[in-house]
Amino acid sequence: MKKTVIGITVVGKDREGIVAAFTNFVFENGGNIEKVNQNVVKGLFGMYLEASFTKIVNVKKFDSGIQLLSKKEKMDVSTHHETNSEKNIAILVTKEPRCLETILDAAKKKSLKGCISAIIGTEKTLEPIAKKAKIPFITISESNQEKAEEKILEICKKYEIDLIVLARYMKILSPNFVWRYPNRIINIHPSLLPAFPGALAYAQAFERGTKIVGVTAHYVTENLDQGPIIFQDSFKVDPDNSLEEIKSKGQKLEADTLLKATKMHLENKLEVRWRKVHVKSK
């Protein structure tokens, strides 16, 4: 019999007994713990549980029960049910258009197994691209990142977002945000990590005379650019290439690699085990 898998995220103020409360709830409802990851950063507790059920489970009843438990334990809890149906995607952007355009083009050609429900920007630069594609564009200009993230989470909840794609989104997401979408936030970084972290990777590569420049698509964790790597690709650099030429080549490769990673995720072909991404054989 096919297993039902439910992902559970728990975020809130750290204290004793939280892990036991939620694992016991799963056992009491006939589930088995497949995965459990927990972290504490500055008093904030985050946990991801993956529970499997071999017997038929009443998902609505399970969700209702866990929300009652969340109120009792004063934690913010959400559940995620993996299905073969079309996933809802939110794309987070700043002002670089290449990654966004490439993903939208794939969606237009029906080669993306998912629905782009919303595009969220830190500024209005890319709004015309979203309007042309007839996709809601929401600007979050809030300078306070904590408040900005609260608004983004509200949008993601409204559109029932399954996957968040960072298409050159130039803000650092906090653990409070990241823990709510474990292995469901994909980022593209302009270097072969961990070689040149940070936003100025191409400039670093140029200054160091790098012979090969690459890009890395990875899942986002609380450890910034150190999340599980999905795909990497690279191109050769000629000593006579200018920084602008390197950037141009890199931006195309970024877009292609981010799209590839996004497609694989949407097709349920990726699995994270022990902080490594494995491509499923079936």
Active site residues: 225
| Burial class of 77 by CB neighbour count within 10 A (0 to 12, 13 to 18, 19+) | buried
Distance CA 237, CA 11 (A): 44
- The packing angle between helices 18-28 and 59-73, to 10°, is 160
DSSP 221: B
Q: Pairing mode, if any, of strands 185-189 and 212-219?
A: antiparallel
CB atoms within 10 A of CB 192: 19
3-state secondary structure of 222: coil
User: Using an 8 Å Cβ cutoff, are 104 and 133 in contact?
Assistant: yes
Q: What is the dihedral of CA 125, 128, 134, 140, to 10 degrees?
A: 20
- Which of 35, 43, 42 minimizes the C-alpha distance to 6? 35
Distance CA 134, CA 139 (A): 15
